[in-house]
Amino acid sequence: NTGTTPHLQEIFLGRCWGFQQLWQVSPEVNCTDLWDKFFGAFSYREPCDVMASSYDPFFQASTFETPVNKTMFWSGTNVLAHAYSDEGHRYRTLEDTLPGHILNGLQWCGSPRAPGFNDTVCPQCENRPFWPEASKFFAQRARGDVFVMLNGTRRDASGNPEDAFRTTSIFARVELPSLNKNAISTIHVWVIHDLDSDPPYSESCGKGSLSQLEQILSYDGFHVICQDDPPSLRHQQCVDAPYSPLCTSVTSKAPKK
Ligand code: G2Q
């Protein structure tokens, strides 16, 4: 079980109006109407009994075109991807769009009894359709050059190595199949490695699960460019670790104690 987010409606409305103010969204979406569409999808239902399509009125009213060449997907790289996207100024991740921004990090579920949702706990459900459905709407609208940031040094909770491209991820299951082939010029795959893990990597462009990904994408007719540790992302990693050996070429020397 997971705890639910208190003040869900207030957070929803505040983030919704705040996002539109910040990005000067025009014409403005009515956030109260949007809340009704969102709440209507799961309220007065059993917590795990929500169909993906229940959220569609919400996503239809809140998902816009993403600017061309800005869409960025991520898988296993949540923190770095969002540091780099810079809240949508550099690239647009799902969490930098209106629906993703509003619900990011929040927990909720329905209840058949008043007030229609559970204000304390939610059970683990076999499937929760919200984020996959958000991803579908987001990926369908990607245009031009698109980017995906993958983790070449991914580990599971016990520390065992995992594939950078996981066939069970939302990226693989939902986002890739939703891309509009005719609207996309190139898929740029960025494979990121932690600063403190040693090469040679079993997961890097052309190897392991990345060769599988490149095959799938080429087979589907996409033009793909895969790059290991692009310099701008190395620099982003080095912001938080300026004296790591891989970063010292830009920082030269540690200050004397
Ligand atoms: N906000 C988001 N975006 N995801 C969340 C949240 C939240 O508040 N809470 C849980 N999750 P991963 P993928 C889950 O293996 O599966 C979005 C989601 O269900 O690192 O590929 C974005 O466009 C998700 O499965 O990556 C990106 O391209 C999990 O976090 C892709 O979907 C992250 O698992 C990432 O999903």
10 Å CB burial of residue 177 (0-12, 13-18, 19+) is exposed
Residue that is written with structure tokens 């990607």 in the block: 142
Confidence of residue 135 (pLDDT cuts 50, 70, 90): very high
pLDDT at 201 over 90: yes
The mean pLDDT of the chain is: 96
Nearest to 67 by CA among 173, 147, 164: 147
- Using a 6 Å CB cutoff, which residues line ligand 1? 73-76, 78, 93-95, 104-105, 131, 135, 138, 169-171, 175
Cα(193) to centroid(ligand 1), Å: 19
Phi-psi region of 144 (alpha: psi -120 to 50; beta: other; left: phi over 0): left
pLDDT at 254 over 80: no
Asked if 93 and 73 count as a contact pair (C-beta separation under 8 A), the reply is: yes
Cα(170) to centroid(ligand 1), Å: 7
Q: What is the pLDDT of residues 142-196, one digit of tens each?
A: 999 999 999 999 999 999 999 999 999 999 999 999 999 999 999 999 999 999 9
Going by alpha carbons, the residue nearest to atom 18 of ligand 1 is 131
Cα(234) to centroid(ligand 1), Å: 23
- Give residue 212's pLDDT: 98
What is the pTM assigned to this prediction? 0.95
